[in-house]
Amino acid sequence: MILPNLAEIEAAQQVLYRVMPPTPQYSWPLLNQRLGVETWVKHENHSPVGAFKLRGALVCATRLKETQPGLTTLVAATRGNHGQGVAMAARLLGLRAVIVVPIGNSVEKNRAMRAQSATLIEHGLDFQESLEFAYSLAAEPGRAMVESFHLRLVMGTATYALEFFSATPPLTTVYVPIGLGSSICGVSAARNALGLSTEVVGVVASASPSYARSFQQRQVVSAPANTQIADGLACRQPNADAMEAIWANVARIVQVSDAEIANAMRVYYQDTHNLAEGAGAAALAGALQEKPAGRTGIILTGGNVDRELYSRVLAEEL
């Protein structure tokens, strides 16, 4: 997979900035003390849907509307944040959205997607089953699939990375969570486009290790997706294009336990008073595990966590 260049990322920014401003990045003193290095956090939890996913969804949806006459409906499969991005993009572009989620998906993420006027369908026991069903729905006339991994998604996610690298001092290392791979590919694209030497480190849940195993074995391998706290990282089958980009651009992939993720969620609250969902806190969990040397970047990808789960995390019941 050829990653987006600087001109493509900047063009994606122009699409995006019609509906949202750049998100902030801050260096928090308490977090610096905890990690022992100067640390910068990119706050994608401050986006209009509470996560980075609007970026790629809007870039993809805009292109689909421009190139497919008669398009009426966007279809997507999601555990929540991608669906919120697709639903908002559809609403802004005057299209319908049909979103497929696994049975038992986050109640509050489901509510947020419906609030964006999406038609929500619960189907399948995990993301992979939801995805396969979504493809069948997208085959109907007037519909188009907004993939969970696609080059235009990467163009969108690269916009936050370009903001981040342009606004911070030079970073030695940046930690990025891996769900299906658009974030880490976008960060790699922006790093490459700017000619930086920053080391890109992926972070996955050890209970959902498919990307870590694929990285180690240099081939795409599936693995159970059993994390109980980071639904955005619960990927059973890695994307082959994403893996090609990850093998070429990522230094290593760190595995963190659900307990480490829960601790990182608490640390974000204690040290920055920011809300982080499990997947959003994973990058910090990876940095806390490794204790990196040198100026460090951490991507907080989202803050969409159900109240009941978050209450249990803060009470250290998980």
pLDDT digits (tens, 9 = 90+) for 242-276: 999 999 999 999 999 999 999 999 999 999 999 99
Does residue 273 share a domain with residue 285? yes
Check pLDDT > 80 for residue 155. Answer: yes
Q: Give how far the C-alpha of residue 250 lies from the chain's centroid of Cα atoms, to the nearest Å.
A: 16
Does residue 292 share a domain with residue 157? yes
Does residue 198 share a domain with residue 71? no
Is residue 105 domain-resident? yes
CA angle 240, 245, 246 (to 5 degrees): 90
Q: What is the strand order of the sheet 296-300 is part of? A: 25-26, 39-43, 296-300, 173-177, 199-205, 252-256
Does residue 256 share a domain with residue 194? yes
Range of the domain at 263: 6-52+151-314
Kindly report the length of the chain. 318
Does residue 190 share a domain with residue 98? no
Does residue 95 share a domain with residue 43? no
Q: Which of 145, 172, 203 is the last residue of a domain?
A: 145
What's the CATH number where 176 sits?
Answer: 3.40.50.1100
Q: Which of 116, 145, 174 is the last residue of a domain?
A: 145
Is residue 86 domain-resident? yes
Average pLDDT, the chain: 96
Chain segment 84-94, per-residue pLDDT in tens? 999 999 999 99
Does residue 43 share a domain with residue 104? no
Is residue 180 domain-resident? yes
Q: Which of 119, 145, 171 is the last residue of a domain?
A: 145
Say which residue, 54 or 79, is predicted with more confidence.
Answer: 54
Does residue 283 share a domain with residue 216? yes
The backbone torsions φ and ψ at residue 149, rounded to the nearest 5 degrees and listed phi first, read -140, 130
Residue 90 CB neighbour total at 10 angstroms: 28
Verdict on whether the full-model pTM lies above 0.85 = yes
**Mean pLDDT comparison of 73-82, 128-137, 167-176, highest-scoring range:** 167-176
Residue 288 CB neighbour total at 10 angstroms: 20
Q: How far apart are CA 69 and CA 80, in angstroms?
A: 28
pLDDT confidence band for 126 (50 / 70 / 90): confident
Long-range pairs, 131-138, Cβ under 8 A, ≥24: 131/77, 131/100, 133/77, 133/100, 134/75, 134/76, 134/77, 134/98, 134/100, 137/75, 137/98, 137/100, 138/75
Check pLDDT > 80 for residue 109. Answer: yes
Say which residue, 131 or 266, is predicted with more confidence.
Answer: 266
Task: Give pLDDT, residue 318.
Answer: 76
Does residue 37 share a domain with residue 89? no
Is residue 160 domain-resident? yes
Beta bridge partners of 256: 205
DSSP calls for 45-92: GGSTTSBTHHHHHHHHHHHHHHH-TT--EEEEE-SSHHHHHHHHHHHH
Q: How far apart are CA 193 and CA 181, in angstroms?
A: 18
Does residue 295 share a domain with residue 193? yes
Is residue 1 domain-resident? no
Alpha helices (H) in the chain, listed in sequence order: 6-16, 29-35, 53-67, 81-92, 107-115, 127-138, 151-167, 182-193, 210-217, 240-249, 258-272, 278-290, 307-314
Does residue 72 share a domain with residue 21? no
Helix (H, G, I), strand (E, B) or coil at 279: helix
Half-sphere exposure of 84 (CA within 13 A, CB side): 24
Does residue 185 share a domain with residue 127? no
How many domains, the chain?
2
Is residue 91 domain-resident? yes
DSSP state, 252? E
Check pLDDT > 90 for residue 80. Answer: no
